[in-house]
């Protein structure tokens, strides 16, 4: 995951990368490994990129499900 974050950061040069989703616990457990992979794969002259890990709770899943159901009902 760290190599993927570094690749996106190298290509897009974002101010911050937000990580969220179902497997967010893995990112928290392997933070040292992710940080090392980011450092190894970032362009040498690039500024550090902020990583923001946001929890993904059941309410987010429910909201997404509701949006998909409404969208399906509105499609002709």
- Computed over every residue of the chain, the mean pLDDT equals 90
DSSP string computed for 15-67: SEEEE-STTHHHHHHTHHHHHHHHHHHS-TTPPP-EEEE----HHHHHHHHHH
What pTM value is reported for the model?
0.70
Confidence of residue 32 (pLDDT cuts 50, 70, 90): very high
pLDDT in tens, 40-62: 999 999 999 999 988 878 888 89
pLDDT of residue 76: 65
Q: Encoding tokens for residue 18?
A: 């937000």
CA-CA distance, 54 to 19, in Å (whole number)?
Answer: 6
């Amino acid at each position: 995951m760290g190599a993927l974050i570094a690749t996106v950061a190298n290509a897009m040069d974002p101010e911050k990368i937000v990580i969220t989703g179902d497997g967010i616990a893995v990112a928290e457990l392997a933070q040292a490994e992710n940080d090392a992979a980011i450092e190894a794969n970032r362009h040498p002259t690039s500024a550090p990129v902020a990583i923001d890990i946001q929890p993904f709770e059941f309410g987010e899943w429910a909201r997404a499900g509701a949006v998909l159901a409404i969208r399906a009902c509105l499609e002709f």
